[in-house]
Amino acid sequence: MIEVQNLTKRYGDRTAVSGISFTVAKGEILGFLGPNGAGKSTTMKMITGFLSPSEGKVTVGGYDMAEQPLEAKALIGYLPEVVPLYPDMSVTDYLSFVASLKGLPGNEIADRVDYVVKRCWLEEYRNRLISHLSKGYRQRVGLAQALIHKPPVLILDEPTSGLDPRQINETRELIRQLSGDHTVILSTHILPEVQNLCHRVLIINKGREVAEDRPENLENKLKGSQTVVMEVAGPESAVREALQAVPGIRHLSVVPRTNHDAGILDIKAETDPTDAVRAGLASAVVGRGWGLLELRAARLSLEDIFIRLTTAESPVADAASGSALSATSGT
């Protein structure tokens, strides 16, 4: 339904988005995940035809956004990061205006406005001026205007931002229900949102695509390594040295506690995925007479993956993004 090839946006010397490519099938929910300023919004602005890409191509429902923008735009419902509202209009007037702007025939507008008002829980507020609505309700009006013309494609830029926890759940549920007959791209920097909602995740950092896969596969992919969490009572530098020497250790972080637990070290080790490494770590500690208070293999959460893929400091992060990228090209 949506095809994006080598999408690039440059502003002078600065590259905001660089060579992003992906496709989204009908009925699928794709999540853009990335830190603030990663290029998620810029990418969405290019997909919706607001910004023209410096390079690359966007096709929506078979229409090239550069060649047939009107046909392509007619298929898209778009909730921008800054909700585009006219504060001097009432909710229904605004929605009717958007409906005619999107080309909905005049005799269908009233029914359709009623439908989206119900769908987005706005019934009590339908005659309210938009300037009198709270942030959460404005966000709902934004969602309602994106749905007004029954678009087969929905592009939602941080749809749950500014909502309270109950509204977040309602909105997620709404998006989930919509995904059946709509194709959805949504952006977020909230991880549970992606885990809950999306069929596929595209992680973007500094304008580049860092990884793309199903949320569960991303986790499995990084199972190529394991994270071992330990709590050890012992001298910091000696412990560090001893553990570093255990075969299969890739990366080690040792953090001494500073409060009343002084002398206890919190250790996180990135290791080869074998039981032998854990046994090796245990005997390295116990064999030297230090206290082994805890040792467990931690399951990687999407959060760990996200942080590792988007922080390029440690060698582990590079290795992880490398493996994720190579798997991406296989999908």
Partner 1 sequence: MSKILAIAKRELRSYFVSPLAYVVAAFFMAAVGFLFFAILTSTREASMRTLFQNMAVVFLLLVPALTMRLLAEERKSGTIELLMTSPVTDEAIVFGKYLATVTYLVFLMALTLIFPLSLVAIGGKPEWPLIWTGYLATTLMGASLMAIGLMASSFTNNVIVSALVAFVLSLIIWLLPAIGGTFGSPISEAFQYMSIISHLENMARGVIDSSDLLYYLSVIGTCLLVTVRSVNVYHWR
Residues that bind partner 1 (CB under 8 A): 45, 48-52, 69-71, 73-74, 76, 78, 80, 82-86, 88-89, 93, 97-98, 100-103, 106, 145
Comparison of 47 and 281: residue with beta carbon closer to partner 1: 47
Residues 6 or more apart whose CB falls under 8 angstroms from that of 237 comprise none
H-helix or E-strand spanning residue 287: helix 275-287
Q: Which of 306, 39, 331, 314 is nearest to 194 (CA)?
A: 306
What is the C-alpha separation between 180 and 28, in angstroms, rounded? 8
Q: Least CB distance from residue 50 to partner 1, whole Å?
A: 5
**3-state DSSP call for residue 88?**
coil
Q: How far is the CB of 97 from partner 1 (least distance, A)?
A: 5
Q: For partner 1, which is the closer residue by CB, 86 or 274?
A: 86
* Minimum separation from the CB atom of position 45 to partner 1 (A): 8
Q: Which is nearer to partner 1, 101 or 110 (CB)?
A: 101
Interstrand relation of 291-298 and 226-233 (parallel, antiparallel or unpaired) = antiparallel
- Which strands sit side by side in the sheet containing 249-256, from one edge to the other? 249-256, 264-271, 226-233, 291-298
CB of 99 to partner 1, least distance (A): 9
For residues 302 and 222, what is the distance between their CA atoms, to the nearest angstrom?
10
User: Which is closer to partner 1, CB of 74 or CB of 292?
Assistant: 74
- State the Cα torsion 174-172-150-162 to the nearest 10°: 120
Instruction: Specify whether the CB–CB gap between 284 and 274 falls below 8 A.
Output: no
Dihedral pair phi/psi, residue 111, rounded to 5°: -60, -40
Q: How far is the CB of 219 from partner 1 (least distance, A)?
A: 35
Task: Give the three-state DSSP class for 288.
Answer: coil
Smallest distance from partner 1 to CB 5, Å: 19
Give 223's DSSP letter.
G
Residue with Cβ nearer partner 1 (89 or 233): 89
For partner 1, give the closer residue by CB, 90 or 314: 90
Instruction: Determine if residue 247 is left, alpha or beta; phi over 0 gives left, psi from -120 to 50 gives alpha, anything else beta.
Output: beta
**What 3 state SS string does 97-155 have?**
HHHHHCCCCHHHHHHHHHHHHHHCCCHHHCCCEHHHCCHHHHHHHHHHHHHCCCCCEEE
CB of 153 to partner 1, least distance (A): 12
Which CB, 44 or 202, lies closer to partner 1? 44
In the complex, what is the shortest distance from the CB of residue 49 to partner 1, in angstroms, rounded to a whole number? 6
Identify which of residues 51 and 233 has a Cβ nearer to partner 1 in the complex.
Answer: 51
